Amino acid sequence: MAAPAQNLRINGDRLWDSLMEMARIGPGVAGGNNRQTLTDADGEGRALFRTWCEAAGCSMGLDQMGNMFAMRPGTDPEALPVYVGSHLDTQPTGGKYDGVLGVLGGLEVIRTLNDLGIRTRHPIVVTNWTNEEGTRFAPAMLSSGVFAGMHTQDWAYARSDAEGKRFGDELARIGWRGEEEVGARKMHAFFELHIEQGPILEAEGKDIGVVTHGQGLSWTQVTITGKDAHTGSTPMPMRRNAGLGMARVLEKVDEIALSHAPHAVGAAGHIDVYPNSRNVIPGRVVFTVDFRSPDLSVIEDMEARLRVEGQKIADAMGLEIAFEKVGGFDPVKFDEGCVTAIRNAAERLGYSHMNIISGAGHDACWINRVAPTAMVMCPCVDGLSHNEAEEISKDWAAAGADVLFHAVVETAEIVE
Ligand SMILES: [Zn+2]
């Protein structure tokens, strides 16, 4: 396979200008973006992306979930395309780079190939996956999930937002429901460039994260039942304090996650206390324990220990405890060949790099089920994301897109 020569670089200024131009569509209230999926602003962003792709000589495909596929042809009509991309939709108070960098970085790969007059054996397709964020229509990564066969299209169309509007209706309303069958495309490989959304790369002073795994997650909802009683007049020995039981269980959650350091994490972000009154000892608490690890056996161990330790705590305190698994996502191991292409690209270009595990879900996590897949990450300031203050430097963006360019073009095979 012919790799690009090491002096080849994308155009960092052009990439940055495109990021800034896209950010003008669906502005937020604090310098970021509110370009939520299937809003008018999403439609405008899609139209701008299509204009740019067509100007770069690409043809645009559109499937029934609104996923966009801009293709630069290859020289071999039999060769499956190399796909690259991410998402243009944002959180309601989102940043300018989460997702957008991966789509426009893919476009920059094609623009650079055009500049250099390089032909590839495999076509290259830049994808915008619909509704990655999942804020307006849960769940996240909805359309890449349908593409990978994780959800049915009917189920996805029936997702509704807070106002009761349905995904399928809103997709048609903004004019981006295509004809193409979802998931019919076959991929030679898929690459996604994304900002890290965490603090590790910046803290380690690395330009590039070579993403080897995606964290798996497990959600266990725990209900502890005691007895509501007056906080003043109930003697301490006579209390059945469900809130205290929860506090002790949460100490265990922390201990269990730390026992699998450094990659495992655990916390409860959702907590409901009943009756939630200042002068009533809580008679019932419901909370969800979120455990994550790139290793499935670690997740299973953490789940099992939560149940054993939780039961012991409840028994000792005269409380009742019940556990229900309410969600989960298996860890992702990205394709070794694609991961190596990314690592070699960073090496060839002279960028500092390290292996990293994605703590967040991404479209690439679903596509990995149907095609050889890997991700490139670049740092973001203070690890901040899903926030309008999300920031990256122009150099970080350019380095990420350079690595993407080299990995994609090597995989698509340069025709001499
Ligand atoms: Zn994203």
Task: Check: CB of residue 368 under 8 Å from CB of residue 218.
Answer: no
| Same domain as 172, residue 48 | yes
- The answer on whether 263 is annotated among ligand-binding residues is no
Q: 117 C-alpha vs ligand 1 centroid, how far in Å? A: 31
User: Does the annotation flag 98 for ligand binding?
Assistant: yes
Whether the pTM exceeds 0.85: the reply is yes
Same domain flag for 59 and 192: yes
1 CB neighbour count, 10 Å cutoff: 10
Q: What pLDDT shows up at residue 328?
A: 86
Q: 105 CA distance to ligand 1 centroid (A)?
A: 13
Q: Is residue 2 part of a domain?
A: no
* Within-domain flag for 229: yes
Rounded to an integer, what distance in angstroms lies between the CA atom of residue 174 and that of residue 65?
12
Domain with 251, as residue range(s), is 216-329
Quote the number of domains for the chain. 2
- On whether 382 is known to bind a ligand per the annotation, the reply is no
pLDDT for residue 1: 54
pLDDT of residue 3: 79
| Residue 34 DSSP label | -
- Residue 27 maps to which CATH number? 3.40.630.10
Domain end: 329, 350, 371, which one? 329
Copy the structure tokens of residue 97.
């780079």
| Chain CA centroid to CA 299, Å | 19
- The verdict on whether residue 87 carries a ligand-binding annotation is yes
Task: Please give, one letter per residue, the 3-state secondary structure of 390-408.
Answer: CCCCHHHHHHHHHHHHHHH
In one-letter notation, the amino acid at residue 177 is R
Stretches in the chain below the pLDDT threshold 70? 1-2
The answer to whether position 1 is within a domain reads no
The DSSP element (H or E) to which 348 belongs, if any, is helix 336-349
Instruction: Find out whether the peptide bond into 73 is cis, omega within 30 degrees of 0.
Output: no
Instruction: Give residue 129's pLDDT.
Output: 98
- Domain edge (last residue) among 282, 302, 329: 329
Task: Give me the CATH number covering residue 236.
Answer: 3.30.70.360
User: Is 270 part of any known ligand binding site?
Assistant: no
Regarding whether 232 and 206 lie in a shared domain, the answer is: no
Please report whether residue 20 resides in a domain: yes
Q: How far is the CA of 87 from the centre of ligand 1 (A)?
A: 7
What b/e sequence results for 35-58 when a residue is b if at least 16 CB atoms lie within 10 Å of its CB, and e otherwise?
bbbbbebbbbbbebbbebbeebeb
Task: Report residue 54 CA to chain centroid gap.
Answer: 27
Q: Are residues 70 and 27 located together in one domain of the fold?
A: yes
